[in-house]
Chains A and B, each alone.
Chain A
């Protein structure tokens, strides 16, 4: 069940209606999850254009394959399988081609392509501002250094707040494997950022 406009909407009923060709139901279904899908893609790919592509491709696949959805898992898990696969593909391609890194080398230090999208203001103490900016840049670089799977598990656990059991279901692996992945990711980040905190 999900909440929408203050009224409880039966997700299963929406899915069944959408499966029968009701496009209003499909629209409502999209709106239940599209914000978190876009946030996930944006955080992983750090490019509004790529995030937009993933958003569109994911929901088009849902639209085209909704008839095949048999309620064997939750709709959320099914949708996230599609989204995470698309994001992983994109991240792996980038790793191979080494193109379009989100953090670019610049004469006066690394620059993040997303800084113009989501610049978080730290008012007050300029030194604190500088430190905070350096820490953010460093975190972004470390995140880029993780393997796509580590990055994905970290994203789903830390930013999307999903339990490891659910993450395992989404990624087609066990809870234990997801746990190991998260463990490796956090270890790498602690080592790389230890001198900042």
Chain B
């Protein structure tokens, strides 16, 4: 709690005030928002949360993971299987989800970092683990294999917080809580000792090691935190959507979805993942609406526009939208980097 107070005191006043207003608005939104608007907001918060989790590993510590769907999937299956088979409530299931994902992350990180794998090779290794697990779950009968795993759908008008069953408003506040938590944790990490070590490793691993940073330990720590946070996104996913298919949840496309928001928003920054998630989700939903209005509902057309938007964004804003915005409008930025 002390750290939190200090965090607020150290941050620029304008940022803190802006964030407080934003949080208040987001808290009040369900009073006016309809079902559709709420589902879009949940999506934005979800991607802001997982983006923040991925950003800790890539944006802070410089380790490119292209297989974060692995942790979403493992977390989702762990909590869902415990709930469905043994009636364990998801709040306890979360602990199992975190444990499983931290174990997986430790194994991957240990293998990779012990043998000095980095850069492209590390990224491809993370893809390999996610794909390996996807095919494994396709044949894992206890959780439905490729046929899918389904949670009992409850009445939507009651709110059963203990079992995470019920109305979308509950999921909205849950997503908001997760996104806020990840944001605050990231802000705190950035000014913690580990955060400085992370950035030292990112900006020059040999120099960091020479300066006495235990690079192996801190790289492992980064992947562990990132995986633990991502596993909670998996639990959320499982109880929000109520169905899990290995082909979908472990899909490489899912891993890419996760990393788009921070890259578009601004890698290594605090606001990047949030801003990126909002931009991409609104762009995607807007495209769906626009194409429907034009009557161009051919499957694939939306993704083409999406691809073009990505290419344009990465070409003209190489550091992401947030740094460009911050420079343009002179926002005071919470101390991050670049």
Whether both chains belong to one complex is answered with no
Which residues of B pack against A, CB within 8 Å?
none
Interface residues of A (CB under 8 A from B): none
